[in-house]
Amino acid sequence: DLVKSHLMYAVREEVEVLKEQIKELIDRNTLLEQENSLLKSLANPDQLSQLQTQLRSAGSSTGSSGSSPANTA
């Protein structure tokens, strides 16, 4: 019983840590989505077209979109 209670306590602590990490990641994702929207609104259509072409070619050459190009403002 003592081992079980210690294990449950450790699991609860780990769950709390993971919940906090999830919250931070959601907040960061929201911030990055807002930044992305702002950058898209500031870019002209030619720049957006060029970026989409680069992303398509990068995705087809690597097979995934694991990394995104650096944003320059």
d(CA 73, CA 69): 13
d(CA 51, CA 71): 10
The pLDDT of residue 5: 96
Q: Is the pTM of this model over 0.85?
A: no
Q: What is the residue extent of each domain of the chain?
A: 1-59
Q: What is the pLDDT of residues 8-35, one digit of tens each?
A: 999 999 999 999 999 999 999 999 999 9
**Whether the Cβ atoms of residue 44 and residue 58 lie closer than 8 Å to each other:** no
43, with CB counted inside 10 A (0-12, 13-18, 19+), is middle
